[in-house]
Structure 1
Amino acid sequence: MKILQIINNLETGGAEKLLVEIIPLFVKKNVKMDLLMINQIDSPFLKQLTDKNCCEIYSLGFKSLYNPLNIFKIAKYFKSYDIIHVHLFPAQYWVVLAKIITFSKVKLIFTEHSTSNKRIQNRAFIFFERTIYHHYSKVICITQEVKNVLESHIGLSDKYVVIENGVNLENIHLANPLTKSEIHPYIDENDKLLIQVSAFRKEKDQITLIKALQYLSENVKLILVGDGLLRHQNETMVKKMKLEHRVFFLGTRMNVPQLLKTADISILSSHWEGFGLVAVEGMAAGKPVIASNVAGLSNVVNGSGVLFEKGNEKQLGQKIKELLDNNNLYNEVAKRCYERSKQYDINILVKKLMNLYNDLLK
C-alpha cells in the first residue's frame, strides 16, 4: 500500500500536527506513506517529521498556495501511489483538478477539518464545492457535526465517513511538568496558570480569553502558545488592557505536553472548530478543560469539561473562577477530562484509517 498525504504546508495547526504524528505510526505498520506540501515553510512540525527520517517529504516549490501551476506538478505524483489523502484548502481543489486533467484512476480521500469555511457559507460556491467533493472516493469528517454541515450544504451523503481525530496519549502522559518560573520569570509558583494552544486566527478568538482576565484575581495568569497573523492584534489588546504582567506569548513550541501539565486549566475559546485536538490534549494532561460551546468542540468537551457561550468573556471568567475556588469541583472535572481523553487515542484513529484505505483498494 502506497499513500501520499498532501497538505498546504506544515505550519502550526491541528491538521498539520496530526500528520506529523500519524505518518511514523503507519510506516511502523509497513505502509509506505509520504508527504507532499504545496509550499515549504520551515517550521517546528516540518523539522520534527524530517528528524524522524521515516518518509519522503516533497514540496511543489511555488511560494503561492494559489498558483494554478500547482495542478500540473501534483499530477506527476499520481502514478506512484495507490491513494492520495488530502487536507485543507486549496490543496483540496488542486488535487481534484489534477486528477481531472490526467484522467487518473488513483483513489482520492479528503479530510474535512472544520465545520465552517467561506466557500460553504457562500451559495455561489456550492456548484464548485459539490463538484470537488464528488471526485473524492471518501470524505472523512472529524466529527458528526462536520458530517451534518457537509450533508446540509453539499449533499453527497454517501461520500462521508466520520473518523474522529486522535492524540498521542502516551507522549502527554509521560511528559514532566515544568516549574512555572521556567515558562516566564513573571510567573510565580503560587500563581494560577491558564493556557490556550492555538494559532492566532479569527476562529480561535484568544481575545475573549484575554478579556476574561479582568474578572479574575491578579495571580491568575495566561500563556498563549502558537503564532499567526492575528498575534499582533492580541498583543495590542494586552497592552491596551495593561495586562503585560499577566499574559505571555510563547510562540510556537514543541514542548506543549509539558506546558499543558504545568498549567492549571486548559482553555479553547474558539468561534468555531472542526474538532479541537488541543482540548483532548489538555484532558490527557489531567487538567480541567474549558471550551466554547460550538459545534465540533462541544461534542468533545460536553460531559467532561466545562462549556461557555462563545465570545462571552464574563461567563468564561466566571467558569474559570468556579474551578479555581472549588478544589472538589476542580478535581472532579480534571478526572472526567482525563477519562474522556482515552476515547481519542491516536492508535484508534490509525486503525480506522487503515481499514478505510484497505476498503478502497479492494
Structure 2
Amino acid sequence: MRILQIINSLETGGAEKLILDTIPHYVKAGIKMDLLLFWDDDQPFVKALRALDCCNIIILKTSSNKKDIYSPGHIFKLKKILKNYDIAHVHLFPAQYFAVFAKMLSGAATKLVFTEHNTTNRRIQNKLFKPVERFIYSKYHKLVCITEEIVEIYARYLGSKDKLALIHNGVDLSKIKTAVRYAKQAILPRLTPADKIIIQVAAFRPQKDQATLIRSLVQLPDEFKLLLVGVGDCLEACKELVATLKLQHRVFFLGQRMDVPRLLKSADYVVLSSHYEGLSLASIEGLASGSPFIASNVPGLREIVEGAGLLFDEGDAAGLAQHILALDQDPALYSKVVTRCEEQAERYDISLMVDKHIEVYRSL
C-alpha cells in the first residue's frame, strides 16, 4: 500500500506539524508513505523531515512567494504523480480541490481521503461555493473529522455520516515528557530567574487571537513575561499592539522554533488564545507540558480543555489575567490543574491516531 500525503506546504501550523510528526510513525508501522507539497521556501519543518530520511518529499514549486500555493498548474503536475499511489491523503484548501481535479484528469484509481481540520469552513456557508463544495466532498472516499463537532457539522452538510470517520489528532507525548527545561536566561538573556513565563505556540493567523493574550499582560504584574512562538500574516499587527501598549520589555516574539517541547517545559503558564480551532495540537501539547493550560472557550478548545485546564471567554483579556493570577496565588490549585491537564493529554497520544488512520487506509 503506497500512500501520498498532500498538503499546501509545511509552513508553521497544526496540520503541517501533524504531517511532520506522524509520517515517521506510519513508516515504522510498515506503511510506504511519501509527501507532496505545492510550495516550499526552505521551511524548517521540511528540513526536519528530510533529516529523518523516512520518506520522499515532492515539492512542486520552490520560491519566495507563498501565493504560488494557489497556482492551478499544480493540478497538471499532480495528475502525473497520483497514479503511482493507492491512496492520497489530502489536507487543507486548495489542496482539497486540486487533488480532486488532478484525479479526474488522470483517471487514476487512487482513493482520496481528506482530513477536515477546523470547525469553521466559510465555503460551506457561501451560496456560491455550496454546490462546488458538495461536489468536491463527493469525490472523496473518506472524510476524517478530528472532533465530534466536526462530524456533526459535516453529517448535516452532506446529509449522511457514511463517509465520515472520527479520529482525534494526536501528539507524540514522549517528546514533551522527556524535554529538558531551559534556564530562563538561556531562552532570552533579558529574562531573569524571578520572571514568570507565559507562552503561546500558534501561527499568527486571523483564526488565532494573540492580541487578547497581549492585552492581558497589562493587568498582570511586571514579572510576568510573554513568549509568542510562530510566524504568519498577523505578526506585524501584534508587534504594533505591543508597541502601542508599551510592552516591548515584556513580550518577546521567538519566530518559528523546532524546540517547542523544551520551551513548553520552561514556561510557568501555557495559553492558547483563539477564535476557533479544530482539534489543536498546540492544545494537547499545552495539556502535556507540566504547566497549567489556559484556553479560549471556543469550539475545538472547549471540548478538550473543559474539566482539565481553565477556559476564558473569547477576547476576554481580564478573564485570562484573573485565571493566571488565581493560579499564581494558589499553589494547590496550580498543582491540581497541572495533574488534570496531564491526565487529559494521555487521551491524545499519537500512536492511537496513527493506528486509526491505518485502519481507514486498509478499509478502502
> Which TM-score band applies after superposition, normalised by the shorter structure?
over 0.9
* Residue 42 (structure 1) aligned with residue 42 (structure 2): yes
Task: Give secondary structure in 2 for the equivalent of 1:227.
Answer: coil
- The Cα shift of 1:153 comes to 3.4
Q: Is the 8 A contact 2:97 2:136 kept in 1?
A: yes
Alignment partners' CA distance in 1, 2:188 and 2:156: 47
Alignment partners' CA distance in 2, 1:120 and 1:180: 46
Q: Is the 8 A contact 1:212 1:317 kept in 2?
A: yes
CA RMSD after TM alignment: 1.1
Task: Give secondary structure in 2 for the equivalent of 1:4.
Answer: strand
Aligned with residue 287 of structure 1, among 291, 299, 306? 291
Aligned-residue identity in percent: 49
1:160 corresponds to which letter in structure 2? Answer: L
* Residue 91 (structure 1) aligned with residue 95 (structure 2): yes
Partner of 2:22: 22
- The Cα shift of 1:200 comes to 0.4
The correspondence of residues 203-352 of structure 1 with structure 2, limited to 5 A, is 203-352=207-356
- The Cα shift of 1:62 comes to 6.8
Q: Is the 8 A contact 2:144 2:166 kept in 1?
A: yes
Q: Is the 8 A contact 2:80 2:106 kept in 1?
A: no
Alignment partners' CA distance in 2, 1:8 and 1:273: 19
1:315 corresponds to which letter in structure 2? Answer: G
1:155-193 per-position Cα deviation (integer Å, ceiling 9, x unaligned) = 343221110000001111111000111111222111111
Aligned with residue 74 of structure 2, among 59, 70, 73? 70
- The Cα shift of 1:95 comes to 0.3
Partner of 2:129: 125
* Residue 138 (structure 1) aligned with residue 123 (structure 2): no
* Residue 354 (structure 1) aligned with residue 358 (structure 2): yes
Alignment partners' CA distance in 2, 1:234 and 1:319: 22
Partner of 1:3: 3
1:185-240 per-position Cα deviation (integer Å, ceiling 9, x unaligned) = 22211111100000000111100000011111111110000011111110010010
Q: Structure 2, unaligned stretches of length 5 or more?
A: none
Partner of 2:200: 196
2:49 corresponds to which letter in structure 1? Answer: L
Alignment partners' CA distance in 1, 2:14 and 2:352: 17
- The Cα shift of 1:128 comes to 0.6
Q: Is the 8 A contact 2:41 2:62 kept in 1?
A: no
1:64-94 per-position Cα deviation (integer Å, ceiling 9, x unaligned) = 1222121111111122111000001000000
1:288 corresponds to which letter in structure 2? Answer: P
Partner of 1:148: 152
Q: Is the 8 A contact 1:82 1:107 kept in 2?
A: yes
Q: Is the 8 A contact 1:126 1:154 kept in 2?
A: no
Task: Give secondary structure in 1 for the equivalent of 2:162.
Answer: helix
Task: Give secondary structure in 1 for the equivalent of 2:274.
Answer: coil
More displaced stretch, 199-208 vs 142-151: 142-151
- The Cα shift of 1:40 comes to 1.9
Q: Is the 8 A contact 2:83 2:109 kept in 1?
A: no
Alignment partners' CA distance in 2, 1:178 and 1:127: 52
* Residue 162 (structure 1) aligned with residue 166 (structure 2): yes
1:5-29 per-position Cα deviation (integer Å, ceiling 9, x unaligned) = 0000100001111111111111112
Task: Give secondary structure in 1 for the equivalent of 2:207.
Answer: helix
2:354 corresponds to which letter in structure 1? Answer: V
Task: Give secondary structure in 2 for the equivalent of 1:123.
Answer: coil
Q: Is the 8 A contact 1:293 1:307 kept in 2?
A: yes
Q: Is the 8 A contact 1:309 1:315 kept in 2?
A: yes
Partner of 2:175: 171
1:80-125 per-position Cα deviation (integer Å, ceiling 9, x unaligned) = 1110000010000000011122232210000011111331232321
Q: Structure 1, unaligned stretches of length 5 or more?
A: none
Q: Is the 8 A contact 1:167 1:346 kept in 2?
A: yes
Partner of 2:33: 33
